[in-house]
Structure 1
Amino acid sequence: MVGVLSRREASYLVAIYSISGSSPARLKEIALYVGVRPPTALEALYKLSSRGLVVKEARGRYRLSREGLRLVEALIRKHRVLETFLVRTLGLCVDEACRLASAFDYAVPMELVDKMCGAMGHPSCCPHGNPIPAGNCHPPKLEVRR
């Protein structure tokens, strides 16, 4: 069991996810993305590695473990549902909704996110046009037999 992620831990996982693409992310790139010096990033990555969320590759490169990837994908879902809710329900502008969602998305239980998603009719994309990953609240797709 991984436990709860802090905002800081979540930011490192998102950094690796955003940078890495098809190859592991370099320490310098991760530090720059998070806005810290490489020694600070190295310490955080060591802790994430000891929790099984990050894997250190050769030459100071890092990738997400399977569990780390699962957590990042859940965080992306939370963020996109929350910002959609803030725009649709509270009428916030897209940038403000994104900024506010980033402040607490990591701490919101997925059960609440699923309820918000359902209440909005299961939106397929966020206000930026990015796809919202499916969650447990999505109704099963009906198969049409011919």
Structure 2
Amino acid sequence: MNNLKLLTKKERDCLITIGDHEVDEFPLRLIDLSDMLNVRPPTTLNLIKRLEGKKLVLHVKGMIHLTNKGKSFYHEIEENHRIIETLMVTYGMDIDRACLISEQIDYLVDHDSIDTMFLKLGKPGKCPHGRTIEQIHD
């Protein structure tokens, strides 16, 4: 079980941005990540150092990669986001607003709460954006 509450919002955003680009042909560089996060490179470097200290990323030769632990955190945040977003849309919230609100809390909600939402929603296979919701936490 990951302890996502160890992350700040900025660290969460950085981790998600890196994870979203892990499938790209080339890993992210610090300058690219800075542009994507809309912050200055020294701020991004500080974020990367904090995530390295938590063993979530590696910064080698200017390239940024998620560690296995970082990939696990990334996937958990993504699953949480999709379940929270699905819950909000199910109860009438606009999809874009649900996405924005989910982004603010997806790394803070505990496993039991996410599992309860997932079960109460009938174990949905996809979020409102059509992305797969893989499974309930074990």
Q: Which 4+ stretches in 1 moved above 2 angstroms?
A: none
Does 1:53 find its partner at 2:38? no
Which residue type is aligned with residue 97 of structure 2?
E
Q: CA deviation at 1:136?
A: 2.5
Aligned partner of residue 21 in structure 2, secondary structure? helix
Q: CA deviation at 1:135?
A: 2.1
- Cα RMSD after superposing both structures: 1.6
Separation in 1, partners of 2:40, 2:73: 24
Aligned partner of residue 130 in structure 2, secondary structure? coil
Which residue type is aligned with residue 33 of structure 2?
I
Separation in 1, partners of 2:137, 2:83: 13
Separation in 2, partners of 1:94, 1:49: 34
Aligned residues: 135
**Percent of aligned pairs with the same amino acid:** 30
The one of 42, 49, 56 aligned to 2:45: 42
Which residue of 1 is the match for residue 8 of structure 2? 6
Q: CA deviation at 1:133?
A: 2.4
Which residue of 1 is the match for residue 72 of structure 2? 70
Where do 5+ consecutive residues of structure 2 fail to align? none
Which residue type is aligned with residue 97 of structure 1?
A
State TM-score, norm by structure 1: 0.86
| Alpha carbons 1:52, 1:67 under 8 Å: kept | yes
Where do 5+ consecutive residues of structure 1 fail to align? 138-146
Q: CA deviation at 1:52?
A: 0.7
Which residue of 2 is the match for residue 108 of structure 1? 109
State TM-score, norm by structure 2: 0.91
Separation in 1, partners of 2:103, 2:112: 18
| Alpha carbons 1:80, 1:126 under 8 Å: kept | yes
Q: CA deviation at 1:55?
A: 0.6
Does 1:126 find its partner at 2:127? yes
Does 1:98 find its partner at 2:90? no
Which residue of 2 is the match for residue 82 of structure 1? 84
| Alpha carbons 1:19, 1:29 under 8 Å: kept | no
Q: CA deviation at 1:50?
A: 1.6
Aligned partner of residue 55 in structure 1, secondary structure? strand
Q: Which has the larger radius of gyration?
A: 1
Could you list the per-position Cα deviations for residues 79-131 of structure 1 after superposition, in whole angstroms to 9, with x for gaps in the alignment?
0000000000x200111110111111111112101110000110000000011
Separation in 2, partners of 1:135, 1:82: 13
Which residue type is aligned with residue 7 of structure 1?
K
